[in-house]
Each structure stands twice: as C-alpha cells, then as structure tokens.
Amino acid sequence: MMTHMEFLKKFKRINPFESSLGVLGFFLVALCFIGCFFFLDYRAVSRRLRTRALPGSLAWLGSEVSPLSSPALPSSETVVDGLPEFLEEGGDGCNVFDGDWVWDESYPLYQSQNCSLLDVGFRCAENGRPDSFYTKWRWQPKHCNLPRFDAKVMLEKLRNRRVVFVGDSIGRNQWESFLCILSSAVSNKSSIYEVNGSPITKHTGFLVFKFRDFNCTIEYYRAPFLVVQGRPPPGAPKNVKLTLRVDKMDWSSKQWRGADVMVFNTGHWWNYEKTIRGGCYFQEGKKVKMEMSVNDAYKRSLKTLLDWVASHVNMRETQVFFRTYSPVHFRGGDWKNGGSCHLETLPDLSSLPASPETWPHMKASIDVLSGQSNNSQAMKLDLLNVTVMTYPRKDGHASVYYQALGLGPAPLHRQDCSHWCLPGVPDSWNELLYALFLKRESMHTRNSTEPSAAQV
C-alpha cells in the first residue's frame, strides 16, 4: 500500500505541461480528422441535402461560403417530387404565395450586363456589388411546383397584345425585370425599342417598349398613388398645398385602357411624410377631407381602382393584377437618417411568417378586396400577394450599389433599402405573374374544350 510520503514524491515528478500538451495534441489530431472527413465527404453529403431552406436551416450554407464567390452547392431541381404541377388540374387549389426560398444554381434568369433595358440604379453587380447570392434564390410553393419562366412561351402568348404596369418606382422595378426576362429570348436586341425614342430614365412619366417581332408592347405608367394628385380646390385651407383625389384615377388612366394584362401597385408613397407633412391632403369631390387618415385615404383609393376596373375593363379579355406592398429593410434608421442594409448577403429564413397586420398597406389591400365580394369584377382581379414572401429578402436591395461603377458605392448614410437589385427578387414576382397568367390561359382552354351540359 502506497504511503503518504511515496504519493507526494510521485506527484512531484508529474509534469503538468506534458499532460496538457498531450491532451492538446490529441484534440488537434481529432479536429483535423473530423475536418478532413467533412471536406472529403462534402459532395456526397450535399447531394443528399434538400435545398429547400426551411426556417433555421441555413447553417450548412453560411459556414461554407465566401462573400466573393458562389457557394459550391448542387443546383436544386425546379420540380419537387410528389408535388402537383400548378398548371395542371392537381394544382388548382395551390396557394403559390405560401412557400419557401430555395437555393437554385440555375438562376438567375438573365444577367444585367446582357439587358440594356435597366436603370443604372438596379444594376448592382455592375455597380460593384461583390456577391451574387441574392440572384440564386427561387420561390418554391409548399404544395405545388411553379413553371420556370419561359420567355419564348410568354412572348408567343403576348403576340399582338399589350401589358401595362402602373404604379410607383417599385412597380417600375418589376416592369424592368419583366422586360429583361422577355428580352433574354430575343436574339436581335434592336427589334426591342421604345416607341417614342425615349431612353430608360427614372424621370419619364411613361415608357412603351415594343417587341417588334411579336407586335407586343410592355408599358409602364408612373402613378405612385394611382389617383390624381393636383392643386387644391378654391377655398381650401392655406396649409393645403396639394390634394390627392381619392375618388378619381390618375390622368394617365385613359392610356391604360385596352391592355390585355394590367399590373397595378401602390403603397410606398402612402405615408405621412409624402402626404400630410408636405401639405398634401385628401379630397373627395370638391371637398378636402382634413381629418381623413393616410390609411383611410389609401383604402378609398383602392376602392376607386376597383370601381374603375369594373367600369372600364372587360375582365373576359383582360387579366388584372394588383401587387401588394414590397417590404423595405432599413436597419438603424430609414431612408433619410442613416438606415442601412449593405451588409446583408443572405435571406432571413429564420424569421417567423408575419401577419397582415405587420404591414397596414397589405392589410388595407386585403380588407378592400374582401369587402368587394359582391363585385363580380373585383373577384376576378388577381392579388399578387408578394408581401410576406418578400419579407425575408433583406439581402436583395440596391443598398449602396445604385450608382454607376465610376462613381463608386453611395455613402453609407444614403442607402437604398427599398428598391431591388436586378436580376433579383422582382424576377420571382414575375414568375408568379407568369404562372397565374398561364393558369388562366389553360383554364380558358380547358373550359372551351369541355362539352357543355346541353351537349351531354
């Protein structure tokens, strides 16, 4: 049996540093072994991973990527096994706005340098943005598969037709995305031109681009409120500098008539800063409604839109879309006091789905449309409900990359976290528009070929 003195002698001979070094060496060898295992088996593992990115499942992506290059991930299939195709009968009840953003190496649908129909402010990659992750995400509904936007198919469908976009600059963002997707299928770019010779510029009231070989036009009309903004009526209070005629559509509405597809949007200008604070109040008939809130005025203008559609649009011939509010992602402020988004390179897929109450404009849109359930024309309007699906895409904004490359990135205190880089998020809105457009076309074809009850 070891005596007390013998134990002390042995204890003195123990070198704690040798023991620590041994443990540290074992730890490093184990770490290297595990690292090599994951490196060598990465491709096999990644093949088994679904690219469907559910909330909280981005860790495997974020740990492998560099902000200056694309992640080395396999392309996801645009068809998820077991889900019906939206354009087929099995997809009739599918809510295409309920889904997830998935990584897809086959995207984007076009490259900005190959499209001359883009404002400088949307050309983020050409303006110096170093990453391209924001171009690689595809919207995947949970209960059906969307068709990939086929520009050749769409151009044939639009032969001898007109598509009209009406709204604010975010609507213009979507319009330019639509132009670029379509133009990617046209080899002779000179056959696409603005009918009045006007260049792409943010200061033009309306632009009409013609695809000559298909005799179709893709048009944009700037109407940020959709209703008329003008001088106040005689006898208005002195602090009223302008009014929004919430009961009268924009002056350009005469030019929208006869279009085969209409895409409306409004929302970003419906705030206190751009209305009441600047002396712009709301008018119905000849009376200025001094007590009317911005939200109530917005709802009233949407009702005016629906009334106009009911009176001036043949819904049997024209498909009408209303695109809901596109979320902004300013952090630490807003557009005028240092809000930023320039460090965002990945979507926030861990965030919980938000309710309509989060965005008053989205809730107002739904309230007005649901309140018009007895209006058969309103019921035929397609709600392009992009608000919730766009909410996680904090990575897709122009941020500091809205100036031409020679001018360098914009100052950090003057970021654009409202508009979107192209290619980017608005392309997904247009893929939804494409799917809904084709769905209506296929249903019309299906109904026309089915025998009537009398024939049976």
Q: Is 416 a catalytic residue?
A: yes
User: Which of 131, 382, 395, 416 is the catalytic position?
Assistant: 416
For residue 289, what are its two tokens? 């409604």
Q: Is 169 a catalytic residue?
A: yes
Q: Is 250 a catalytic residue?
A: no
Residues 439/445, Cβ–Cβ less than 8 Å: no
User: Which of 100, 395, 419, 427 is the catalytic position?
Assistant: 419
Q: Please say whether the dihedral angle defined by the alpha carbons of residues 45, 46, 48 and 54, taken in this order, is positive or negative.
A: positive
Residue 399 forms beta bridges with which residues?
416
Q: Name, in order, each residue with C-beta under 8 angstroms of 429's C-beta and a sequence gap of 6 or more.
A: 174, 177, 323, 384, 386, 390
Q: Return left, alpha or beta for 277; rule: phi > 0 is left, psi -120 to 50 is alpha, else beta.
A: alpha
* Helices 294-312, 360-371: inter-axial angle, 10-degree rounding: 40
User: Which of 169, 198, 252, 442 is the catalytic position?
Assistant: 169
Instruction: Give the whole-angstrom CA distance, residue 68 versus residue 163.
Output: 37
Q: Which amino acids are annotated catalytic?
A: 169, 416, 419
